[in-house]
Chain A
């Protein structure tokens, strides 16, 4: 039996054992352990982690099963890892009370889940890494564990403070504490986190790189501010060492210039490693192994390895080409805010310094995006910077292309947990996007606007992130070519409707789907529509960034809050009966 098959066999009982670890907490919320105030937000976070947990476990098994097939094993069915908890959304409204007994059980349940999921996540990470598979599903499990670990003591402290002989408490006694626990970020939450995070950061500074892995898995909104303050207290010698650690540049909250330095170091190190690896794969011994494998009718491992190394080197070359444009021909410096070759990859490039700019816009891409094909997305951010900066006068703009999640791929359309037709990738992506924007906020050196622009499936990711940080993800949200953002009304995203913008080419079929919640372009959604021109149907979904186009000019105007500069098609003075694609050429 192949190694991947054995890993799959070990992972199945692990997944089956843990896929329902958050179900009892979800049922307690439905049983009204806590009503009103911060309850809806807490329930939404719980539902997100519960769904992400089950998706991640399914994805992990799917990855291992596919690896086993690649090693010659027959296809193996993946057990059903989704459970049904009755949907009874916590009602919004003023705090009404808690059932102290149910709350106590909820806290115990979260405590237990934290421990169980931490152990499960570590085992899963080990299994995936041993097969050279992306460990992101394990990170999702660990994030759920971290979330539980952060919630339990916080809720226990609040429960202890407001516990009374009666099971139902007067609202005026408890409302403030419970409402504040989840309706606003953080000082309280951060104080709960402070001891372990401080300890991790101290150990990292003292030279324990294992702590970096744990810090990178945390997704608490208070963490980046903590990281930023910690960084500025370090000596130059320690700082100089830390930027050489693999993965350090992905730590949210670090200054952009530091992330850039660390990620460029990692880029160079990876290039060096892969170049050496490619040379090794061309040695006589490696070439001989190909012949041996072929004689035994086995897949030549050296050939597959060569292919992967060559593809990764091409991705590195793509990143180098993009970065080389920075600082040339009137362009601002390019900042490499994230870089990782694992899986679909991680890459974030900023045109301009997001820490000091007056406005920062983060572009979130969608279906089929991956590191090797990210050059076009980096260029979209570049032309948006060009457009916005050219018309912004003395105000400065930074424009980021962000590949910080695993976007659904065409090849995964029928894979549960990874399909473009489902919300699981968006839920995971939303968590990552929220953490990334927490980092941008923490690293700012002065006041500034933040805009998030979601395209296609990336608009759903943006919607999920907005739900995790109500009113705090961005000052402005823009959706183009959106199949839906996961809600039915703009205000559910935590911003007034006038700061939620939707651009839809009428020939863009994806924008017409309304697959994930109500169509954002529908008047009843409550967002502001802006003109984007009109392209041929086969181009419309990708034409929003054409230089000097109506769409790009309006995107630039919205990014820089120059709403009175939005341009619109002139009034039609004669009938237009033909769609553009059918207009005869002259």
Chain B
């Protein structure tokens, strides 16, 4: 049936639409430049990796080197980007994975970063999510099938004037 709009939900929906319901809507921006964000993301991952006793070898995941648009113009042209760096931790025996989790958590907390979510330790697979202090990068330690681990850091939305190349 056709329904005429009910007023109160309609107002809520309009408010949301006005603040960016469609993809690429309102974003929280950072004043960082692209190069500053790249350096910072890299630094967050590498310094975290240094806190791991097993001294993993870092291998860049190339998909993470593609900046992710976080705001688009009405014509679908990206106007703002998040910068990420994701590194696989190679040379890591699976039996040490939970040690890695404890060491990463302790390191992040020692640097004032916030732990925002954790996995179920009883599953034996480390999964941590965090947010860097004071600049709000999203931090990740994640387990993947095949007993692989990665560390990642993602910047807030950046006001980059021109579309960057990977």
Question: Interface residues, chain A, CB within 8 Å of chain B?
Answer: 51, 54-55, 58, 81-82, 311, 314-315, 317-318, 321, 325, 328-331, 365-369, 372-377, 379-380, 383, 386, 390-395, 410, 413-414, 416-417, 419-424, 456, 483, 509-510, 513, 515, 531, 533, 536, 538-539, 541-542, 545-550, 553, 562, 564-570, 586
Contacts and interface: CB of A to CB of B under 8 A. Distances in A.
A246 to B, nearest CB: 23
Contacts of A420: 5, 10, 13, 17
B146 interface: yes
B125 interface: yes
21 contacts: A82-B1, A314-B76, A330-B61, A366-B21, A372-B76, A373-B24, A375-B23, A376-B24, A394-B145, A416-B4, A419-B4, A420-B5, A510-B21, A515-B6, A533-B129, A539-B20, A541-B16, A542-B22, A542-B23, A546-B138, A565-B119
Contacts of A553: 117, 127, 129, 140, 142
A244 B1 CA distance: 39
Interface stretch (B48-56, B67-75, B90-98): B67-75
A564 B125 CA distance: 9
Most chain A CB atoms below 10 A, which of B2, B66, B74: B2
Nearest to A370: B22
Nearest to A585: B134
Nearest to B145: A393
Contact of B68 (A311, A383, A391, A394): A383
A410 B16 CA distance: 11
Which residue of B61, B82, B129 has the most chain A CB atoms within 10 A of its CB atom?
A: B129
B61 A390 contact: yes
A509 B19 CA distance: 11
B66 A325 contact: yes
Contacts of A318: 75-77
Given A548-B153, A549-B138, 19 more contacts: A58-B2, A314-B76, A315-B75, A317-B75, A317-B76, A325-B66, A329-B65, A330-B61, A368-B22, A375-B78, A390-B150, A416-B2, A424-B3, A538-B26, A539-B26, A546-B154, A548-B140, A550-B117, A553-B142
Contact of A570 (B19, B28, B74, B115): B115
B15 interface: yes
Contact of B118 (A315, A330, A568): A568
Contact of B125 (A383, A414, A510, A565): A565
B21 A509 contact: no
Contacts of B69: 375-376, 379
| Listed residue (B1, B66, B138, B148) with the most chain A CB atoms within 10 angstroms of its CB | B1
Nearest to A531: B117
B116 A533 contact: yes
B63 interface: yes
Contacts of A549: 129, 138
Interface string B127-166: 1110001100011101111101010111000000000001
B66 A329 contact: yes
Contact of A546 (B9, B82, B86, B134): B82
**Residue from A376, A549, A586 with most neighbouring chain B CB atoms (10 Å):** A376
A54 B9 contact: no
Nearest to B146: A393
A372 B27 CA distance: 20
Interface of B: 1-6, 9-10, 12-17, 19-28, 61-66, 68-70, 72, 74-78, 82, 84, 86, 115-120, 123, 125, 127-129, 133-134, 138-140, 142-146, 148, 150, 152-154, 166
B23 A372 contact: no
Contacts of B70: 546
A373 B79 CA distance: 13
B22 A367 contact: yes
B16 A547 contact: no
Nearest to B105: A570
Q: Which 4 pairs, one residue from A and one from B, show the smallest C-beta to C-beta distance?
A: A376-B23, A393-B145, A376-B24, A421-B5
Nearest to B1: A51
B76 A414 contact: no
B118 A329 contact: no
A450 to B, nearest CB: 20
B26 A542 contact: yes
B61 A567 contact: no
A414 B1 CA distance: 15
A354 to B, nearest CB: 19
Nearest to A80: B2
Contacts of A369: 22-23
Given A416-B4, A421-B13, A515-B6, A392 B123 contact: no
